[in-house]
């Protein structure tokens, strides 16, 4: 698809669910005049336990939807979708696509103990992108990768600090600390919402690194180099869509965005079966 939308068009951002709001927050800080569109595919979260075909199909269908809403650039605010679908997206769409990368490089530069931990979904840890990061930095520092099943679901449900969330984080973080980790990378966009609890459990001497602000800066660079930065002076607006039931979606997105906002239902043409029928070879 060769849509080229003008600089005053919005930026499209999506995630398997509400986690990408942590990236949207940084984009809003970095680019206050841009209009932002956000799709939470919460009806199909977590992506971590879905097939490659399904994640690709959902990602393609959502990007098509965002382009139909005049998006000039896309941010894949999901490490899992990045790991699984980024090549398919770049092969198909010509507008700028900015994707997540776990912040292993800054963590490697920051660590004093020489041991860093990465919290991510199992799919992200198993991805090629991740293997490449490991190859690149694994000689200089010890990288301990920790899959965190259950945490995406806790954030999707709005349980940011209940007993179950705390015990899952302890289960994942304490073994890392015992192995000398002094720097923890948040390799899933849902986890910044758990950062206060992760920090509390890890202790104040452990650095927690979230790549979202760097992604927002990269977005600014990419827009600038394509002459796509908005020239409007007014504050940008945000619009939200979700594939979850409307009441649930509105509650959790309003909680995390800290404003009472409207969330529209993601139109049917992006439903799983249609997405699969149109985009995946039989």
Active site residue 188: yes
Query: With CB under 6 A, what is the number of residues at the site for ligand DGL?
Result: 17
Question: Rounded to an integer, what distance in angstroms lies between the CA atom of residue 99 and that of residue 78?
Answer: 8
- Among 71, 190, 223, 266, the residue binding ligand DGL under the rule CB under 6 A is 190
Whose tokens are 């990378």? That residue is 185
Q: How far is the CB of 30 from ligand DGL (least distance, A)?
A: 19
Question: Rounded to an integer, what distance in angstroms lies between the CA atom of residue 158 and that of residue 135?
Answer: 36
x/- map, 138-157, ligand DGL, by CB under 6 A? --------------x-----
Q: How far is the CB of 160 from ligand DGL (least distance, A)?
A: 14
CA atoms within 13 A on the CB side of 40: 34
Nearer to ligand DGL, 116 or 125 (CB): 125
Question: Rounded to an integer, what distance in angstroms lies between the CA atom of residue 18 and that of residue 83?
Answer: 18
15 binds ligand DGL (CB under 6 A): yes
Are 54 and 88 a contacting pair, CB within 8 Å? no
Question: Rounded to an integer, what distance in angstroms lies between the CA atom of residue 12 and that of residue 67?
Answer: 8
212 binds ligand DGL (CB under 6 A): no
For the segment 19-38, give every residue that binds ligand DGL (CB under 6 A). Answer: 19
Active site residue 78: yes
Question: Rounded to an integer, what distance in angstroms lies between the CA atom of residue 73 and that of residue 78?
Answer: 15
Chain residues in the site for ligand DGL (CB under 6 A): 15-17, 19, 45-48, 78-80, 121, 124, 152, 188-190
Tell me which residues are annotated as active site.
78, 188
């Amino acid at each position: 698809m060769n849509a080229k939308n003008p600089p005053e068009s919005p930026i499209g951002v999506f995630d398997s669910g509400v986690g990408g709001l942590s990236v949207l927050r940084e984009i809003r800080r970095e680019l206050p005049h841009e209009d932002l569109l956000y799709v939470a595919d919460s009806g199909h979260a977590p992506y971590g336990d879905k097939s490659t075909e399904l994640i690709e199909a959902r990602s393609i269908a959502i990007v098509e939807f965002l382009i139909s809403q005049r998006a000039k650039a896309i941010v894949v605010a999901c490490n899992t979708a990045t790991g699984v679908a980024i090549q398919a997206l770049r092969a198909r769409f010509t507008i700028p696509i900015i994707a997540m990368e776990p912040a292993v490089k800054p963590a490697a530069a920051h660590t004093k103990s020489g041991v860093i931990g990465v919290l991510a979904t199992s799919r992200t840890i198993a991805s090629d992108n991740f293997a490449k990061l490991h190859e690149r930095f694994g000689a200089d520092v010890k990288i301990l990768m920790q899959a965190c099943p259950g945490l995406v679901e806790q954030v999707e449900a709005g349980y940011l600090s209940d007993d179950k969330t705390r015990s899952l984080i302890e289960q994942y973080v304490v073994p890392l600390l015992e192995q000398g980790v002094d720097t923890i990378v948040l390799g899933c966009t849902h986890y910044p919402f758990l950062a206060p609890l992760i920090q509390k459990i890890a202790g104040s001497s452990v650095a927690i690194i979230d790549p979202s602000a760097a992604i927002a800066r990269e977005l600014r660079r990419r827009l600038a180099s394509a002459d796509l930065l908005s020239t409007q002076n007014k504050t940008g607006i945000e619009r939200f869509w979700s594939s979850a039931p409307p009441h649930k979606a509105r509650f959790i997105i309003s909680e995390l965005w800290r404003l009472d906002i409207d969330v529209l239902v993601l139109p049917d043409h992006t439903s799983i079966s249609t997405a699969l029928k149109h985009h995946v070879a039989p």
